[in-house]
Structure 1
Amino acid sequence: MKLHTCEWGSGDRLALLVHGIMSDHRSWRSVGPALAARGYRVIAVDLRGHGASPRGEGATPTDRYAPERLAEDLVDTLPTGAELAVGHSLGGLALLQAVERLRPARAVYSDPAWCFAQPDLFDPGVFTHFKRATREQIAALAPRWDAADVDVEVATLAAWDPDSALGLAGFYAQAVLPGAPAVPSLLQLPDRSFLTGPEDAERLRGVGYEVRRVPGAGHTIHRDDLTGFLASLDGWL
């Protein structure tokens, strides 16, 4: 499936951005221009079921939104050999499954949804209920976000197909940590990640991931602390 994309900049280097669940390319509204200012041409996608991209097709949510479908879409849409690819949350899972085919020079996984530190806590229904979240509720849950990011979240929730959350339930019932990275890779984490626990982070470090934390940030690091997000990418940009 060809995905909707948005671009910033016209530099000689190419960066790819893949957003998390319930969001779309607009979540990168500050990151895209920041990378463009550093000499990149930046391409951000809307995953299937998100933003302006098509909805998934198939009889069940899993048929429509399994992680391998998300990865196939990235391969169908994005150029290979980019200098940098960044995936946040669900986007980090999709990028992980596509990275061997996309072959970026460097990959950054920002609090990726590879598995849950406490698997029994994953409930796709929580995500579907969030579809109806108000601006006030979003602002209360994300107190460090700019007002514009809260507005973006309201808009992206309206454009999101909640079946994309239901399609993940089977995957997370048996998800395991990845092995050695296919390309040089950075695992970027907040102080406390509900996805990657401390022991998991050390295991990933042991198989070849560089692990860095952004103090004070929550799950959506680039919207909680843009300055900290970019600073933690020192040497990777």
Structure 2
Amino acid sequence: MKLHTREWGTGDRVALLVHGIMSDHRTWRRVGPALAERGYRVIAVDQRGHGQSPRGTGATPQERYPLDGYADDLAETLPAGAELAIGHSLGGITLLRAIERLKPARAVYVDPAWQFAAADGVDPEMFVAFRHATREQITSMNPRWESADVDVELATLAAWDPDSALAMPGQEAGLPTAPAVPSLVVLADRSFLVSPSDAALLRERGFEVRTVPGAGHTVHRDDHTGFMAALEGWI
């Protein structure tokens, strides 16, 4: 499936951005321009069922939104051989599954949902219900966000197909055994998706792991400055 994309910059180097569930390219509204200022041509996708990209096809949510389908979409839409690829949450799963085909020089996984099905207290129905969240609820849950990020969240929720959340259970990706390319994992403070023991295991397997203190799951919106600092040496 060909995905909708948004670009920033015209640099010689290419950076790819892959958002998480319930979101779309607009989650990168500050990261995209920041990378463009560093000389990148930045390409951000809307994954299937998100933003302006098509919905999946099939009789069930699992048929419409298989993880391998997401990865196939990335490989069909994005250029291989980019300098940098960044995937957040669900985007961390699908980037990992497409990494051998995309072959970026470096990969960054932001609080990746590699073990979504095993995460304590994660129920897909929570995501479905959150589609109708109010501005007040979003602001209360994300007190560090700028007003523009709340606007983006309301818009992306309205454009999202909640069946993509219902398809997640049983499609657990699991922790990668080794990085296919030099890889950085940027974690939320007290991440509920990657435990300290998982982080230690990832380090043993060859990943660099950094944490942004005080940041929640959407690290790049909770603390844009801290997130960009965590990328130093990788961008």
Fold conserved between structures, TM > 0.5: yes
State the partner residue of 2:119: 119
* Residues 15 and 85 in structure 1, CA contact (< 8 A), matched pair in contact too: yes
Name the Cα RMSD after superposition.
1.0
1:164-218, Cα deviation, whole Å (9 max, x unpaired): 001111213xx42111010000010021100000000000110010000111111
State the partner residue of 1:190: 188
Q: Distance in 2 between matches of 1:19 and 1:120?
A: 22
Q: Distance in 2 between matches of 1:210 and 1:170?
A: 28
Q: Distance in 2 between matches of 1:2 and 1:120?
A: 34
When normalised by structure 1's length, the TM-score is 0.97
State the partner residue of 1:14: 14
Structure 2: state its 5+ residue gaps: none
State the partner residue of 2:43: 43
Amino acid at match of 2:35: L
The secondary structure found in structure 2 opposite 1:35 is helix
Q: Distance in 2 between matches of 1:37 and 1:227?
A: 14
Structure 1: state its 5+ residue gaps: none
Q: Distance in 2 between matches of 1:189 and 1:29?
A: 20
Runs of 4+ deviating beyond 4 Å = none
Deviates more, 1:119-128 or 1:5-14: 119-128
When normalised by structure 2's length, the TM-score is 0.98
Amino acid at match of 2:225: T
* Residues 82 and 103 in structure 1, CA contact (< 8 A), matched pair in contact too: yes
State the partner residue of 2:163: 163
> How many residues are matched?
235
The secondary structure found in structure 2 opposite 1:20 is coil
State yes or no: 1:52 paired with 2:62: no
State the partner residue of 2:220: 222
Alpha-carbon spacing, 1:146–1:218, altered in 2? closer, same or farther (3 Å)? same
Shift of 1:120: 4.9
Q: Distance in 1 between matches of 2:57 and 2:141?
A: 32
